[in-house]
Structure 1
C-alpha cells in the first residue's frame, strides 16, 4: 500500500497524506463526490478529478500486484525463480515491464527455437553468441546426428545445425528486455502509421477514401484519425501498418548484440559466428519483433486515442447534463413530424402528463387551422408557460407554425435537442412511467421534460444514445461506461436532488444509493407520503447508516415540505447540523434566522468552530451554503432563436448566423444553425488564435455566432467559422 501511495504521489503531484486518506475512504466504500465535498480536511481539499485518478491508479497498481503474484507462482512451480529474477519481477513498475521480464520464462507454444533446443543445438547457439571470430561450420559438424535419428530430433548437416542455432539466438534477441524497450521507444517515437485499401474494397469502402493511401508519423497522428483507420481495418476495407524504419531498428539491434563490427560482405555469411548473429538479428526483427511490437504499439496508440475520445465524450456529456434548466413551468411539448403529425403533450410544473393529442399543421390548410385552434386551446386550458419543440424532422417548420400563432409574445418557444428521446420512449423506464401510452407520447414527454430539467431527464437515457460522443462504438466499452457513469454521478451530486420529486433513475446516481436503494426510496415515498426530514431516510428498508452518510448531503427537502429544519433544504451535511446550531445559538438566534439574515451570517467567525472532525474548509463551505441555501449551480436559462433559415438552400457563403453547439470533438465542433444538418467548425476555424483543444473554446449547448464558409449540397456538409477576422 505504501509503495502504491508513493507511486501515485509522484504521478499526480499530490502529497502522500492526501492520497493515503482518499484511498482509505474509497476502500471503506465512500464515493468520489462524497470525499471531494465532505472530506476536504482528510484529503487536503482534493477535487473529484484527482480522487478519480487515485481510485483508478489504485485499481491499476493492484492489478499489477495480482499479475506479479501469478508470475512468481508460475516461476516457483517450474523451479525457475532465482533471487535475481525475483528482484526483477518485484521492481517492474508497469504491466509491460513485468511481461518483458517474464517473457523468456513464459510457457509458450512449440517454437522453432524450442525445436532446435530439443535437437541439442543450444550449445552451438552459445558458441555463436560468444563471437570469438571462429569459422563455425567445423563446430556445427559436431551436432550432426547419425542416420536413422528420428526426424523430430535429426540434424542432417552443418547448415541445419547452424539454422537451428540461429533460431535459438533470434528468440533470445527477441526476448531481451533492454532490446525490446529500446525498440518499443523507436516504434512509439519514429513509427509510421500507414493504410492502404484492401483489394476489391474500393467501392464498398468509399467512406474511407481519405485513407486509401495514407501515412504519417504515429506520434503525431490525431486520435480520431487512428480510430478511423482502425475502424476501416476492422471492417475489412483498409490494411493498416505501424512500424519504424528497418535500418534504424537493425542498427539498434546490431549495436546491442554484435561484439565487434562485421564487414558488410560478411554480414550475411554463415561462415563466421558474427555473420550468423547478424542473420539471427535480421530474423528476430522481421519474424518475431515486428509482429509483436507492431501489435503492442498499435494498442498503445489506440488506447491513447480511446482515452482522448472518452474524455471528449465525458466533457460533452457534462456540459449537456448541466445545461441551464427552464425550471418548474407548465410546458407544451411537441415531437414534430410531417405526414404522421406533431405529437403534442401538456405537462404540469413537475413534468406530469396532463393531456396529449396529435395535430397536423403540415398536411393542408384545413388541418393547419385545426392544429392552430388546438394549440391555442391547450395553451389557455393548461396555463402553458413554455413550448418545447423537438429539433428533428419538421422541427423548424413546427417552430414557424407555432410562432405564427402569436403565442411567442408571452410564451417561450424553445427548440430542444431530441437526441435519445426515441431511446427513452422505448425503454423499460418509459414503459413503467407511462404503461398506457405509446412511444410517440413518451417521446414528446421526454422533450418537454428535458427543457424543464435536462439533468433529471437525461439520466433516464443511456449516455451513448445522446449523440455527443466521438467514435463511441470504437473505444473500450468498459472504460467508456465507467467514465460516463462517473460524469453522470458527478453532475447529479453537483446539482443536488429533490428527495420528494426525483425519479428512481435520478436517485440511483446519488452518492451511496444505486438502483436498489433508489427504488426503495420511491416505494417508501409512495406508501408513506413525502419525506419530512433527511433522517427519515433511515426508515427506508436496507438503507443503513453508511448509505445515509454518503447520500444525505446531496438530497434536498423543499422548504414547503421539511419538518422544521431548514438545513434539510441545503447542501449542509446532517453531521454538521450541530455546528450550525452552535453558530445560531452564539448569535442568539435560530438557524432559520441565521439563513435569512446576511448581517448575522457576516458576523460568523468560521475559525472559532474548528474541531478535530470539522476543519476550516468544511466551515467555509457551510457559511457559503447558508448564504444561498440549496442553490442550483447551473447557469440561468437563456432563450435562443434561430435565424430565418430552414434548409441548406437558404444558406449562402458569408452568412453570419446564431447557432448552438451540439457536439465537440478533437477536430472541431458541430453547430446546429436550424437547417436539419449540423455544420462543422473545424478546429482551425474556432478562433483567431491557435487552438490546441476545441474544449478550451466551446462547449456543448453553448450559443455561438458562426459564418458560413461553404455548403456542399451533394454530401450535405456545411463548413462554418467562428473567426472574427475574415
Structure 2
C-alpha cells in the first residue's frame, strides 16, 4: 500500500513538474513570438492583427498563395506581396535569433558573458550591431595585438590610454624584456593593442560607417595590360570612372564588379581620410602629451590597417546587396510578365526551329501539346529546297488540321517566316514568332528526356517552341528561370536570393492562373500551393495508372497527399467537365456549402448560378457571413462564379516585323519600326525589331518626363512602335526611342 501511495505521489510530482516546464517553455516561446511580431511590424508598418494572424498561418504550414486568396479575413486582406514581406522579415528575425544564441553560447564557453552584455545582445535588432558586440571576443588568427599581449604589454597600453603619464618612454623602458628588445618595440606593441581597442569600439565603427554611407566614392582604373584586349572593350566606359557609391545604379555597380572579377579593371572605395581620422581623434584624445602622440599614431594604424579595409568592404558589400536586390526585382518583374504571357490556348500547332545548314526542324502538336509528327526541311542555303519545304508545310498543315504556326526567333527566323507567309493555306492559319530563350536548356534536361526518350534535342526544342505558343506558363516552368535570360546581370547577383525570389514568382503565377490537374506536367504541378515535387510526381503517377480525376475529392486518393496538402492546393487545381461545376473554379471546397446554400435560397441549382451575372448580383452577401467567412471571401466567390476558371491572361496576338529590315545595316535614323519588348532593365528596355541585334530604349527615351520605373511604361512582350535614333554598326548597338 505504501509503495502504491508513493508511486501516485511521484507520478503527480512528475505531472506537475512537466506541466511547469511546459508552461515555462511556452511562456518563453510566447515572449519570442511577441518580439518577432514587433520586429515585423516595425519593418512592414502593417497592423499587429494582420501580422500576428499571418505568422500563425505560416507556422501552420500555409503557403503565400493560399493565405492571400483564402484567408483574407484573418490577414486583413493582405496581398501576396505584403505576406511575402512578412515571410522575409520572419526569416530574418529567426536568423538573427539563431545568431544571438550562437554568440551567447560562445561567450559562455569563454566565460566572458556578463549580464549587461547578454542584455545588449538580446535587445539587438541589427546583425551589424550584433557582430560589433561580439567582435572583441572573436577567436581570430594570431594578430599583432595578441603577440603584444603575450609579451606583457597590455598594462603599458592601458597607461597610455589613461593619457596621464608625462614620461611615457621611461615607463615603457620597464617593459623591455623577453621578446621586447627596445623602448620603441614596447611602444609599438602597446600601440597595436590600442589599435585593436579602437577597432572594436562600436561608436568609432558606426561613425566611419556613417561617412562611408554618405560620402564614399567608387573609382575604377583599367589594368594597363588589358587596355587593348578585345573582351575588355565592352567595359571601356569603366576604364576610368568615379561615382558616389550611394548613388551608383544597380546595373553599373554590377558591371564594374564583373569587369574587376574578369581582370580588366581595378576598383577602390575612398572617403576623406583626414576627416575620418579627425573624428576618431575627437572621440579618443583628451590631452596633449606624449601619451596622446602615441594614441594618435595608434589611431592612424587602426584606421589604415583595420577599420577602413573592413568597413569599406562592408560598405561595398552593402551596395552590392542593394544592387542585387534591384536586379533581382527587375528579373522577378520580367519573369512574372513572361510567365503570364498571352497563351494561344488549346490549338493545333506546327512548330519550327529554324536553321540554315542543319535545316528547319518541324513538329506537329495536337491541341494538348502532344507530339504527332516530326521531320526536317531545308528551305535555306546550302540546299535551298524552298519549294519542297513550302509543299511539306502545306501538306502537314492540312493533314494535322494545323491552326497556328510557331517559329523560333533564333538563326534563320526571319527568312523562315518570309517563306511561311508565301504559302497559301486552305484554312486560316496564324503565324507567330516565339522566343527560343532557354529552349536548348529544356531540350537537354532530364525533364525533356523523360518526356521524349526516343527523340533527340532538336525535336524536343521544337516541341518546346510550339508549346510556348499554346501555354507559355506550362512550358516555361520546366526551365530554370535563370536560363530564360530576362533580366540584368543575373549571374552576378546572390544566387540563393535570386533562386528563392524566382521560385516565389513562379509559384504565384502558377496559382494565379490555376492548373488543369488532368493535363499538367509534374513540373507545373510541383508549383501548386502545398504540392511540391514529390506529391506532383505522385499525382502524375496516379493519373497515369488510374485515369483522369473526375472530381476534386478524387485528389484525396493520391498516395501521401494528406489533409494539409489538400487544403492548400485543391482550389488551385481545376477539373474540366466535372460533375460539380465548382471543381473547375477557384472556389475552395470549404466554401462549396455556402454556394449551395445561395443556390437553394434562390430556388436554383449551383449550375444555374455559373456565369449568371444578373442573378449573382442580386444576392445579399451579409446573411452568409460567419466568424470565419466575411465579405472579402464572399465577394471573391461571386466574382469567380461569374466567370469560373477564367484565365487571367490575354490571348496571343499575331505580330509582324517590318519585312524590309533584314540586318542592322538596313536601319536609318528617324525610321519608325514595329517591335516587341524582349527584356527590361533598370536603365531601359530592349526591343526586338526583327534582326539579330536588339535595340535599346534608354530610360531617358521612354518618356518626355522623368522615368523612375521602366516597368511603369512598358511590359515584357509588349508590341510597340519605336523610332531609330542611332545604329552603331561597328559596336552593333541600336539606340531607340519609344514612339507614342
Given the two structures, how large is their TM-score scaled by the length of structure 2? 0.93
- The question of 1:585 aligning with 2:617 is answered no
Change (3 A) 1:506 1:408: farther
2:644 is paired with a residue whose SS is coil
Q: Residues 321-360 of structure 1 correspond to what in structure 2 (within 5 A)?
A: 321-360=339-378
Tell me by how many angstroms 1:366 deviates. Answer: 6.7
Matched, 1:101 2:133: yes
Query: What CA distance in whole angstroms lies between the structure 2 residues aligned with 1:89 and 1:64?
Result: 10
1:391 to 396, 404, 409: 409
> Which position in structure 1 is the counterpart of 2:274?
247
The separation in 2 between residues aligned to 1:365 and 1:334, in whole angstroms, is 17
| Structure 2 residue 694 is matched with structure 1 residue 678 | yes
Indicate the SS of the match to 2:603.
coil
Say which is worse superposed, 637-646 or 57-66, in terms of deviation: 637-646
Partner of 1:79: 111
Residue among 652, 660, 665 paired with 1:637: 652
Q: Which residue of 1 aligns with 2:21?
A: none
Q: Which residue of 2 aligns with 1:444?
A: 462
Residue deviations 1:483-505 (CA, integer Å, cap 9, x gap): 11100001000000011111111
Paired position in structure 2 for 1:431: 449
How far 1:597 moved relative to its partner? 2.8
Of residues 118-127 and 619-628 in structure 1, the stretch that sits farther from structure 2 once superposed is 118-127
- Asked if the contact 1:685/1:723 (under 8 Å) is kept, the reply is no
Relative to structure 1, the CA distance from residue 133 to residue 409 in structure 2 (aligned partners, 3 Å threshold; closer, same or farther) is farther
CA contact (8 A) 2:343 2:469 kept: yes
Name the counterpart of 2:207: 182
Asked if structure 2 preserves the Cα contact closer than 8 Å seen for 1:243 and 1:290, the reply is: no
Distance 1:438 1:142, change over 3 A: same
SS at match of 2:364: strand
Secondary structure at 2:58 match in 1 = helix
Q: Distance in 2 between matches of 1:723 and 1:705?
A: 6
Higher deviation after alignment, 82-91 or 538-547: 82-91
Aligned with 2:43: secondary structure?
Answer: helix
Q: Deviations over 1:299-357 (max 9, x none)?
A: 11111111111111111000000011111111111110111111111111111111111
Secondary structure of the residue aligned to 1:220 is coil
| SS of corresponding position for 2:69 | helix
Give the equivalent residue in structure 2 for 1:370: 388
Query: 1:408: how far off?
Result: 10
Change (3 A) 1:506 1:581: same
Question: Contact between 1:170 and 1:284, CA under 8 Å: does it hold in 2?
Answer: yes
The question of whether the paired residues in 2 share the 8 Å contact of 1:687 and 1:723 is answered with no
Contact 2:332 2:502 in 1 (8 A): yes
Asked whether the 8 Å contact 2:679–2:686 carries over to 1, the reply is yes
1:637-682 residue CA offsets vs partner (Å, 9 max, x unmatched): 2221111212112211111111111110111111000012111111
Select which of 32, 40, 64 maps to 2:64: 32
Partner of 2:119, secondary structure, is helix
Q: CA deviation at 1:596?
A: 4.0
The aligned counterpart of 1:228 is 255
Corresponding residue for 2:99? Answer: 67
- Superposition TM-score, scaled by structure 1 size: 0.95
Match of 1:568 among 583, 586, 594: 583
CA distance 1:279–1:596, change in 2 (3 Å): closer
Unaligned runs of 5+ in 1: 263-270
Q: Distance in 1 between matches of 2:45 and 2:299?
A: 42
Answer yes or no: is the 8 Å Cα contact 2:611–2:644 preserved in 1: no
Equivalent position of 1:44 in the other structure: 76
Deviates more, 1:154-163 or 1:688-697: 154-163
Flag as ranges the 4+ runs of structure 1 deviating above 4 A: none
- After superposition, residues 415-426 of structure 1 pair within 5 angstroms as 415-426=433-444
Could you say what secondary structure the match of 2:696 adopts? strand
Does 2:334 align with 1:316?
yes
Aligned equivalent of 2:28 = none
The answer to whether the Cα contact below 8 Å between 1:330 and 1:383 also exists between their aligned partners in 2 is: yes
Given candidates 226, 229, 240, the residue that maps to 1:201 is 226
Aligned residues: 705
CA distance in 2: counterparts of 1:352 and 1:554, whole angstroms: 24
CA drift at 1:134: 2.1
- In 2, Cα distance between the equivalents of 1:572 and 1:406? 46
Q: Which range moves more in the overlay, 603-612 or 128-137?
A: 128-137
1:460-487 per-residue CA deviation (whole Å, 9 max, x = no partner) reads 1111111102111111111111011100
Structure 1 residues 289 and 110: CA distance shift in structure 2, 3 A: same
Return the match for 2:681 from 653, 657, 665.
Answer: 665
Shift of 1:105: 1.5
1:627 to 623, 627, 642: 642
1:6 aligns with 2:38: yes
**Aligned twin of 1:542:** 560
Query: Residue 327 of structure 2 contacts residue 487 of structure 2 at CA under 8 Å; is this kept in 1?
Result: yes
Provide the rounded CA distance (Å) in 1 between the counterparts of 2:316 and 2:439: 37
2:285 corresponds to 1:258: yes
Following TM superposition, by how much is the alpha carbon of 1:243 offset from its aligned partner in structure 2, in angstroms? Answer: 2.5
2:418 is matched with: 400
2:498 maps to 1:466: no
Task: Structure 2 unaligned segments of length 5 or more: list them.
Answer: 1-32
Q: In the alignment, is residue 140 of structure 1 matched against residue 165 of structure 2? A: no
Equivalent residue for 1:518, pick from 531, 536, 546: 536
